[in-house]
Structure 1
């Protein structure tokens, strides 16, 4: 919940009612086919949320890519939030975060052999993918942040819910953090409770299952965040860092983030250093020269025998594309990859559900029979 004063919250509540009414009417128009949803003759998996702020969409998209890429030709399609371009773009080796956005750029750098595309109009984006030279081999499209984008009817819809911000205890924005009512979760085929504690007890799990009150066709899974090893942003310039040789009491870190919620990463870094200073910027922030100068100044005045700058993998994509003049930043700038980990037996069940969906619905399958007026 937002930490607002009671007076301000009471003033925002009527706006939440109005916004909620508008969103509910829009959803009803889609439910009754007054507003059209396009279906395609190809497996389409949507990954999204109904909460403002990060729920871990990109790591979950990357997990799906890793799961599918060895057996199928796949593509990702996202809006490309805060990119400086317009229309449909299929990323290539020359693409930058300014052209396609930071999250698609992160995916393209990590998985250069898959198709990464952006288009604000998702229907147009899928049409362009299918009509491209790669279209005949394409086996599935992963839609990023598309739970509200109902102009496409995904064959499999995955809804992410942050364990720390239960949607059943939240409200429509701006009073709360929900983009639409918690009841819209019923549109999802799969619900994943992300950022769950690894030591979640069976009773905690049962409480969440009861609160969500799933429909018979819905599957529920739990994932936690898993931080990888430090990686240099500028590999050719970076110092050689061996974490085991650096003691916690003489190891200093500046954490630079442009994400919705950097708190978990800061808490993780505090396991390795007694001195973690932080520079927080807005989500998807576009760093400029003055910001680089500020980071450099902060780094130069940082105490400790050994010190580095740490950022997120998403933020690193924007630093890649910058002309940074300070060599000390290039030498000491690292990022931490973020992965997801399924709890208990969820991984095998989830993998089977995804693979079965793609296999049964790929275009070469006789079982596939989806109507579309486009492809």
Structure 2
């Protein structure tokens, strides 16, 4: 949300106009003038109400990790930021420019999954099934606002520190829809929670979110793994408490990541870019300059998995300048022992699915 009160006030009329358009679209869907397509196979949608930062990618990876050993799974994504258009299968040899950073990350980590980038999911699913009739489950990435497909299970994420209840519509805020749109969700996941979140704190937020009787609510956090070398993931390292770290990121919000790193190393310098930013040659030269200015002899560059997909476009420069760029992997964990309950909810949805 825009923090400057004057700027927010100036943007408010534009937010209201935007909200009028959103309300009109919602009205058309509720009246049946526009309809979402249902398919004869299970579809799970994962999305949020804001323009980023809630953790859709790690939660889709959680579902892939849970289901890929048992089912043939496909992931459909718009491929935000790619320089291509139309329907395209993602391969491990693609680049972020051709398919987008998140779809490439899915394919690299889960090569057995069918990963597709396409603007129109309603057309993309049947097109994908022509070549892959074996697919038994479709995961839709960032599809909460793309209502042309009606998922059988609709999962909505909201960040613990920035819940949708405290935000406002674009451009004054970061919401893509009115907060009341959360009612379309079957499952709410409060993401990026503090590891030590108490039951009392969770109950306070629950009261603020006001879930409907049918909506299940879960609380999740990130568990960070061992950093690996960007250019060869066989080489890993441990974060040490006497290290100085240059964090390079182009994600929606870095607070959660910075909070973690500040407990692990001596000092963190953060070099931040806009979400999904494509690093230029100038940018990577600036990264080198900032790294060279770090005074400690024990220093590394850290980046996120999503940013790594775009940084690797400058592989030759990183190799030539011997920049120690390491990638910090993450996994989703559910708090309060909710993991088995969430897994069972997904399994029951699949078992009870009817064409």
Q: TM over 0.5, yes or no?
A: yes
Is 1:126 equivalent to 2:125 in the alignment?
A: yes
Match of 2:312 in 1: 320
Q: TM-score, normalised by structure 2?
A: 0.95
The separation in 2 between residues aligned to 1:263 and 1:204, in whole angstroms, is: 19
Shift of 1:328: 6.4
Match of 1:144 in 2: 141
Between stretches 49-58 and 296-305, larger displacement belongs to 296-305
Shift of 1:237: 9.7
Shift of 1:120: 0.7
Match of 1:276 in 2: 268
Classify the secondary structure of the residue corresponding to 1:138: coil
Q: Do the aligned partners of residues 237 and 165 (structure 1) sit closer, same or farther apart at CA in structure 2, a change above 3 Å counting? A: closer
Shift of 1:2: 2.5
**Cα contact 1:234–1:330 (8 A) shared by 2:** no
Q: Deviations over 1:80-111 (max 9, x none)?
A: 00001110111123222111100111111111
The separation in 2 between residues aligned to 1:237 and 1:222, in whole angstroms, is: 32
Q: Do the aligned partners of residues 330 and 154 (structure 1) sit closer, same or farther apart at CA in structure 2, a change above 3 Å counting? A: farther
**Cα contact 2:58–2:332 (8 A) shared by 1:** yes
The separation in 1 between residues aligned to 2:162 and 2:318, in whole angstroms, is: 39
The separation in 1 between residues aligned to 2:252 and 2:327, in whole angstroms, is: 17
Shift of 1:176: 2.0
Question: What is the RMSD of the two structures over their aligned residues, measured on CA atoms?
Answer: 1.8
Is 1:230 equivalent to 2:227 in the alignment?
A: yes
Classify the secondary structure of the residue corresponding to 2:63: helix
> Structure with the greater relative contact order (CA < 8 A, sep ≥ 6): 1 or 2?
1
Match of 1:7 in 2: 6
The 5-angstrom pairing of residues 286-365 of structure 1 reads 286-327=278-319, 330=322, 332-361=324-353
Q: Do the aligned partners of residues 296 and 72 (structure 1) sit closer, same or farther apart at CA in structure 2, a change above 3 Å counting? A: same
Is 1:188 equivalent to 2:185 in the alignment?
A: yes
Q: Deviations over 1:266-316 (max 9, x none)?
A: 232222333322211111011121112121222222211211111111011
Q: Do the aligned partners of residues 28 and 68 (structure 1) sit closer, same or farther apart at CA in structure 2, a change above 3 Å counting? A: same
The separation in 1 between residues aligned to 2:306 and 2:316, in whole angstroms, is: 17
The separation in 1 between residues aligned to 2:206 and 2:258, in whole angstroms, is: 30
The separation in 2 between residues aligned to 1:141 and 1:350, in whole angstroms, is: 18
Shift of 1:13: 1.7
Q: Which has the larger radius of gyration?
A: 1
Between stretches 271-280 and 178-187, larger displacement belongs to 271-280
Match of 1:200 in 2: 197
Shift of 1:227: 1.1
Match of 2:218 in 1: 221
Aligned residue among 235, 248, 252 for 1:260:
252
- Report runs of 4+ in structure 1 exceeding 6 Å deviation: none
Unaligned runs of 5+ in 1: 362-367, 370-375
Q: Deviations over 1:239-275 (max 9, x none)?
A: x7454xx551xx2211111111122222322223333
Q: Deviations over 1:39-66 (max 9, x none)?
A: 1101000000001221000000000000
Shift of 1:230: 0.8
**Cα contact 1:191–1:221 (8 A) shared by 2:** yes
**Cα contact 1:309–1:329 (8 A) shared by 2:** no
**Aligned length, in residue pairs:** 355
The 5-angstrom pairing of residues 80-119 of structure 1 reads 80-119=79-118
The separation in 1 between residues aligned to 2:214 and 2:256, in whole angstroms, is: 33
Shift of 1:236: 7.6
Classify the secondary structure of the residue corresponding to 2:270: strand
Q: Deviations over 1:169-195 (max 9, x none)?
A: 222222222111111100000010111
Unaligned runs of 5+ in 2: none
The 5-angstrom pairing of residues 25-44 of structure 1 reads 25-44=24-43
